[in-house]
């Protein structure tokens, strides 16, 4: 990053420099900004210490060095069962499962099409910046440190405009107005980040301030919250480092920024981001999980720490009790007490006593009672931490034999306990989406193509800010001009589709077993099969329906034969009637000549014979077809059997 660019540099970077067309800068009061940051370090010392401790507990570092020395002195094992880490990871998995996409809605009927454009653009930015990876990081930071969020950054693009991006904020480097009490920091007058940076990295970010940077090495040691990572990587005296603070503050109703070290200002200016009302805004979009009575922010670790300590210590004590044995011996009956102690603890130990002395007595009953008490309290501690915040059903544990509706009720109860955190996290995502959309409207002015993917996973492309001709006026006009779209950004959320789908499948399966005519297509659609298998099964059913709707040639031939036979019988009856009429009106025929009735009867018999022949041929063809289809039907029946087994 340099003073005329937009890009945030590598990990030591703490902010973005102003655009080249930034408004005139009001000089920042360097000393005042330093006092604000130092005041935060002093007033929030307990909060900072709790954040450091919470990060240690999350990563399994749950014993202090003093506790470890004490346990080693007792010869007691150091046991760590990190249930806090599992609990937080389960929460992040829940957030990922419940994730939803942003969607824009128009503020007036004329912007209906513009809302679709805004939705596609916003999802494009989120996909391009890997929102699916960064959002869980912010969720984990809020759950552990109590503070999470992102910073909006501007990077040089390859299409003329800047690219809109964001990065997760490191909670260990974040500071804010100590008087702020709201979960979204909307009442904070200043906030920012402070990090150590290598000398070379700082010079690359601010090449025009190289002399001041090299002159202020190691300056700014008082501007640190001393996170564990800084102690590890920047404790080496040979490393040339500098503390850089990216400080955003309100002055005269507008947001300004100032990037400084302990002795000099590196960059400053007015905020280059505007909100929906065209007012300057801060680039840090943050949230907090909880705010206590002192105004300190904290996560889930605070309420689980004591249970986690009890689990570790009681587990360690139980193991120590099992590996130890109390012995009552008569004074002077053994040469070395320590030898007796070691041998008594061994399963194959050998105890030697002085002749004529009282044999040792083992206090195993008391040890067993103590062990039972430790295990009982251990189970209580495990249940306490297991049921805190959200129940195991949210992570899919213990619900294998439940119906979809029962699972949904279990999960709703667990989510209810996460209410404050989930509301804060959801509100934060909406603010991030709106901030990204405002940045897009402000900084994307050139024509560009947006690639989006629809529900059928088909890529589509459309242009924004495209110069075209108005068909009504013939004048140049912009197509999909982002700056003129007036939309609201919300989260497109819905119920837990997986549980409701499973519940519907169970209900319909029971109905089908009781004889209700449930379409097989509906059962397949609601079944837990993979999408590709569902499509294949539905395609097979559709082909079978099409074949069933087409006329069967064998049955058609049989029907035609029956029709000809019926027609022949009708002709015979008609001939008989005509004969009766003819005999009444005509003289007798010559002897030996065939009568008309005989002729008609012969013709009818010929037709009847032809019909029987056609029917016989049709039956023969049917037998041949059935013989041909028999192996195919057997294969299909085996496939359906395997499919039914998979469904159940």
Tell me 25's DSSP state: P
Structure tokens at 504: 């519907």
Percent residues over pLDDT 90 in the chain: 21
The average pLDDT across 353-379 equals: 73
When pLDDT is cut at 50, 70 and 90, the band that residue 51 belongs to is: very high
Q: Of residues 606 and 590, which shows the higher confidence score? A: 606
Q: At residue 73, does pLDDT exceed 70?
A: yes
Q: At residue 612, does pLDDT exceed 90?
A: no
pLDDT tens column, 22-45:
555 567 899 999 999 999 999 999
The average pLDDT across 106-134 equals: 80
Q: At residue 479, does pLDDT exceed 70?
A: no
Task: Concatenate the DSSP letters of all residues of 418-459 into one string.
Answer: THHHHHHHHHHHHHHHHHHHHHHHHH--S-EEEEEE-TT--E
End-to-end CA distance of the chain: 59
**Coil vs helix vs strand at 198:** strand
Most trustworthy range by pLDDT among 216-230, 388-402, 535-549: 535-549
When pLDDT is cut at 50, 70 and 90, the band that residue 4 belongs to is: very low
Please report the pLDDT score of residue 12 as a whole number: 35
CA distance 245 to 241: 13
Backbone angles phi, psi at 196, to 5 degrees: -80, 145
Q: Are 17 and 7 in contact (CB under 8 A)?
A: no
Please report the pLDDT score of residue 533 as a whole number: 73
Please report the pLDDT score of residue 341 as a whole number: 74
Q: Are 256 and 268 in contact (CB under 8 A)?
A: yes
Q: At residue 268, does pLDDT exceed 90?
A: yes
CA 321 to chain centroid: 44
**Coil vs helix vs strand at 357:** coil
Residue carrying the six token digits 């991030």: 432
The neighbouring-strand residues paired with 469 are 476
Please report the pLDDT score of residue 122 as a whole number: 85
**Range in 52-56, 268-272, 518-522 the model is least confident about:** 518-522
CA distance 582 to 361: 135
CB atoms within 10 A of CB 411: 22
CA distance 495 to 109: 27
Most trustworthy range by pLDDT among 375-384, 400-409, 488-497: 375-384
Please report the pLDDT score of residue 16 as a whole number: 44
Q: Are 523 and 540 in contact (CB under 8 A)?
A: no
CA distance 117 to 536: 34
CA distance 200 to 207: 10
When pLDDT is cut at 50, 70 and 90, the band that residue 326 belongs to is: confident
Q: At residue 401, does pLDDT exceed 70?
A: no
CA distance 492 to 349: 69
When pLDDT is cut at 50, 70 and 90, the band that residue 470 belongs to is: low
Q: At residue 510, does pLDDT exceed 60?
A: yes
Please report the pLDDT score of residue 137 as a whole number: 93
When pLDDT is cut at 50, 70 and 90, the band that residue 86 belongs to is: confident
Q: At residue 127, does pLDDT exceed 80?
A: yes
The average pLDDT across 177-202 equals: 92
Please report the pLDDT score of residue 55 as a whole number: 93
Q: Of residues 131 and 601, which shows the higher confidence score? A: 131
CA distance 513 to 502: 17
Q: At residue 1, does pLDDT exceed 50?
A: no
Between CA 91 and CA 97, with CA 96 as vertex, the angle to 5 degrees is 95
CA distance 449 to 159: 10
- Looking from the CA of 25 toward its CB, the CA atoms found within 13 Å total 16
Structure tokens at 290: 């909880």
**Which residue in 426, 492, 493 sits closest to 104, CA to CA?**
492
Between CA 336 and CA 346, with CA 342 as vertex, the angle to 5 degrees is 145
Q: At residue 529, does pLDDT exceed 90?
A: no
Q: At residue 132, does pLDDT exceed 60?
A: yes
Contact partners, residue 581, CB within 8 Å, separation at least 6: none
Q: At residue 430, does pLDDT exceed 60?
A: yes
**Range in 204-218, 490-504, 624-638 the model is least confident about:** 490-504
Task: Concatenate the DSSP letters of all residues of 556-608 into one string.
Answer: HHHHHHHHHHHHHHHHHHHHHHHHHHHHHHSPPPPTTSPPHHHHHHHHHHHHH
| pTM exceeds cut of 0.75 | no
CA distance 266 to 372: 64
The neighbouring-strand residues paired with 260 are 245, 265
Q: At residue 18, does pLDDT exceed 50?
A: no
Q: Of residues 589 and 490, which shows the higher confidence score? A: 490
**Coil vs helix vs strand at 213:** helix
Report the mean per-residue pLDDT for the chain.
75
Structure tokens at 587: 């003289």
Residue carrying the six token digits 């040339």: 240
The average pLDDT across 378-389 equals: 74
Domain spans of the chain, in order of start: 30-300+419-444, 302-413, 497-549, 553-586+595-647
Please report the pLDDT score of residue 456 as a whole number: 43
């Amino acid at each position: 990053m340099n003073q005329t660019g937009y890009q945030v540099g590598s990990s030591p970077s703490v902010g973005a420099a102003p655009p080249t067309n930034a408004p005139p800068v009001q000089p920042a009061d360097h000393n005042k900004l330093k006092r604000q940051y130092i005041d935060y370090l002093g007033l929030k010392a307990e909060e900072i210490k709790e954040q450091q401790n919470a990060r240690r507990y999350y990563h399994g570092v749950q014993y202090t060095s003093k506790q470890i020395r004490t346990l080693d002195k007792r010869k007691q094992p150091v046991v760590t069962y990190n249930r806090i880490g599992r609990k937080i990871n389960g929460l992040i998995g829940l957030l990922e499962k419940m994730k939803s996409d942003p969607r824009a809605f128009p503020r007036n009927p004329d912007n209906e099409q513009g809302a679709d454009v805004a939705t596609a653009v916003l999802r494009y930015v989120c996909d391009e910046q890997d929102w699916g990876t960064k959002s869980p990081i912010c969720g984990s930071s809020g759950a552990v440190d109590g503070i999470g969020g992102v910073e909006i950054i501007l990077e040089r693009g390859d299409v003329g405009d800047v690219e809109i991006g964001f990065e997760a904020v490191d909670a260990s480097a974040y500071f804010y107005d100590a008087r702020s009490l709201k979960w979204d920091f909307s009442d904070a007058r200043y906030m920012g980040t402070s990090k150590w940076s290598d000398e070379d990295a700082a010079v690359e970010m601010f090449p025009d301030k190289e002399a001041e940077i090299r002159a202020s090495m190691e300056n700014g040691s008082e501007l640190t919250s001393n996170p564990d990572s800084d102690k590890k990587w920047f404790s080496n005296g040979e490393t040339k480092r500098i503390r850089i603070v990216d400080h955003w503050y309100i002055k005269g109703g507008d947001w300004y920024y100032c990037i400084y070290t302990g002795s000099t200002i590196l960059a400053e200016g007015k905020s280059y981001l505007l909100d929906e009302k065209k007012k300057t805004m801060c680039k840090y979009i943050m949230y907090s999980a909880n705010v206590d009575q002192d105004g300190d922010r904290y996560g889930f670790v605070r309420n689980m720490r004591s249970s986690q300590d009890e689990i570790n210590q009681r587990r360690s004590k139980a193991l120590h009790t099992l590996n130890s044995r109390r012995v009552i011996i008569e004074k002077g009956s053994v040469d070395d007490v320590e030898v007796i102690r070691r041998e008594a603890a061994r399963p194959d130990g050998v105890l030697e006593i002085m002749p004529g002395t009282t044999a040792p007595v083992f206090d195993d009953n008391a040890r067993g009672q103590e062990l039972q008490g430790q295990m009982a309290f251990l189970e209580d501690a495990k249940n306490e931490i297991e049921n805190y915040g959200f129940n195991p059903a949210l992570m899919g544990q213990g619900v294998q034999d439940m119906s979809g509706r029962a699972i949904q009720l279990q999960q709703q109860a667990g989510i209810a306990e996460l209410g404050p955190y989930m509301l804060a996290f959801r509100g934060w995502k909406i603010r991030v989406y709106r901030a990204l959309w405002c940045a897009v409207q402000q900084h994307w002015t050139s024509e560009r193509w947006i690639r989006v993917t629809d529900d059928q996973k088909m890529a589509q492309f459309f242009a924004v800010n495209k110069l075209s001709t108005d068909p009504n006026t013939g004048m140049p006009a912009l197509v999909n001009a982002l700056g003129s779209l007036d939309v609201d950004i919300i989260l497109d959320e819905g119920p837990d589709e997986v549980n409701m789908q499973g519940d519907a499948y169970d209900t319909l399966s029971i109905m089908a077993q009781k004889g209700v005519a449930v379409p097989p297509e509906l059962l397949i659609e609601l079944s837990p099969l993979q999408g590709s298998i569902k499509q294949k099964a539905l395609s097979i059913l559709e082909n079978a329906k099409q074949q069933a709707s087409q006329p069967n040639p064998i049955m058609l031939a049989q029907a035609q034969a029956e029709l000809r036979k019926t027609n022949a019988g009708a002709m015979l009856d008609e001939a008989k009637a005509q004969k009766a009429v003819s005999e009444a009106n005509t003289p007798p025929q010559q002897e030996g000549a065939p009568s008309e009735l005989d002729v008609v009867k012969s013709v009818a018999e010929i037709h009847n014979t032809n019909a029987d022949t056609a029917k016989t041929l049709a039956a023969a063809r049917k037998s041949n077809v059935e013989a041909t289809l028999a192996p195919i039907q057997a294969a299909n029946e085996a496939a359906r059997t395997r499919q039914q087994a998979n469904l159940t």
